[in-house]
Amino acid sequence: MVGRALRAALPVPELVSVMEHLEYEFDGAGPRPAGATALAGVVGSGNLEVLIEAIDLGGRCAAVVDTSVRGYGATWRQVLADFFSRHGMGDVRISINDGGATPAVVSLRLDQAAAEIKEEGP
Amino acid sequence: MRIARQSFYEATARKRVLGLLDRTSFVEFCPPREQVVSPHLPSLGMPVAFDDGVVVGEGTIDGRRVLIAAQEGGFMGGAVGEVHGAKITGLLERAADTRPAAVILLLDTGGVRLHEANAGLVAMGEIQRAALGARHAGVPVIVAIGGKNGCYGGMSIVARSCDWIVASEEGRLSISGPEVIETVEGIEEFDAQDRALVWRTMGAKHRRLIGEIDALVADDMAAFRAAILGFVGRPRPLDLDALEAEHAMLARRLERFWDCADGMEVWARLGVNDPADVPALDAARFNALLGAVSERSR
Look at phi and psi of residue B24 and say left if phi exceeds 0, alpha if psi is from -120 to 50, else beta: left
Min Cα distance B60 → chain A (Å) is 21
- Side chain identity at residue B250, one-letter code: L
Test A68 with B47 for CB contact under 8 angstroms. yes
Least confident interval from A26-30, B198-202, B274-278? A26-30
Q: Which domain holds residue B287?
A: 239-298
Cβ of residue A49 closer than 8 Å to a chain B Cβ = yes
pLDDT of residue A59: 94
- Which pLDDT score is estimated for B291? 87
% pLDDT > 70, chain A: 84
A53 contact B CB<8A:
yes
pLDDT exceeds cutoff 50 at A43: yes
Q: Which of B55, B174, B162 is nearest to B110 (CA)?
A: B174
Residue burial B263-285, b: 16+ Cβ < 10 Å; e: rest:
bbebbbebebeebeebbebebee
Closest-CA distance, A96 to chain B, in angstroms, reads 9
Chain A residue numbers touching B12 (CB-CB < 8 A): 42
Question: What is the residue-wise DSSP string for A37-53?
Answer: EEEE---BTTBEEEEEE
B157 and B284 co-located in one domain: no
Measured CA to CA, the distance from residue B34 to residue B31 in angstroms comes to: 6
Which of A14, A15, A43, A47 to probe by mutation at the B interface, max B CB count within 10 Å? A43
Q: State the count of interchain CB pairs (< 8 A) between A and B.
A: 53
Mean pLDDT of B19-43: 96
User: pLDDT tens digits for A75-120?
Assistant: 999 999 999 999 999 999 999 999 999 999 999 999 999 999 988 6
Nearest Cα neighbor of B70 from B151, B12, B149 is B12
Angle between helices A73-87 and A103-119 (to 10 degrees): 30
ipTM for the predicted complex comes to: 0.87
Cβ-based contacts of A53 with chain B (< 8 Å): 33
In a domain, B139, yes or no: yes
Residues from chain A that touch B45, judged by Cβ atoms under 8 A, are: 16-19, 68
Contact at CB, A53 and B33, closer than 8 angstroms? yes
Select from A16, A20, A68, A97 the residue whose CB has the most chain B CBs within 10 Å, as the one to mutate to test that interface.
Answer: A97
Beta strand B141-145 with B102-107: parallel, antiparallel or unpaired? parallel
State which residue of chain B sits closest to A101, comparing Cα positions: B47
Q: Which of B96-100, B102-106, B152-156, B259-263 has the lowest mean pLDDT?
A: B259-263
Total of domains in chain A: 1
Q: What is the pLDDT of residue B117?
A: 87
Which has more confidence, B106 or A3? Answer: B106
Residues B160 and B226 in one domain: yes
Task: Report chain B residues touching chain A, CB-CB < 8 A.
Answer: 12, 14, 31-33, 35, 42-50, 72, 74-76
Which chain B positions have a beta carbon within 8 Å of A99's beta carbon? 47
- Using a pLDDT cut of 70, give the percent of chain B over it: 97
- In terms of domains, do B98 and B46 share one? yes
- Find which of B14, B41, B44, B50 to mutate to test the A interface (most A CBs within 10 Å of its CB): B50
- pLDDT score for B254: 94
Optimal mutation site among A14, A42, A69, A95, interface B, most CBs of chain B within 10 A? A42
Query: In terms of domains, do B200 and B184 share one?
Result: yes
pLDDT of residue A3: 44
Same domain membership, residue B243 and residue B229: no
Domain membership of residue B271 (yes or no) is: yes
Output the pLDDT for position B5: 84
Last residue of a domain, one of B236, B255, B278: B236
pTM beyond 0.90: the answer is: yes
Burial of A59 (0-12, 13-18, 19+ CB in 10 A): middle
Give the number of domains in chain B: 2
Residue A26 belongs to domain spanning = 19-119
Strands A37-40 and A48-54: antiparallel
Residues B193 and B220 grouped into a single domain: yes
Q: Are B155 and B144 in contact (CB under 8 A)?
A: no
Amino acid at B179: E
Contact A37 B35 (CB under 8 A): no
Please report the pLDDT score of residue B294 as a whole number: 61
How does residue B3 score in pLDDT terms, banded at 50, 70 and 90? Answer: low
Do B21 and B39 share a domain, yes or no?
yes
B186 and B285 part of one domain:
no
Residues of chain A positioned with their CB less than 8 A from the CB of B75: 42-44
Residue A112: its pLDDT value, please?
97
* A1 part of a folded domain: no
- How many angstroms separate the CA of residue B196 from the nearest CA in chain A? 27
Smallest Cβ–Cβ distance between A51 and the set B14, B33, B75 belongs to B33
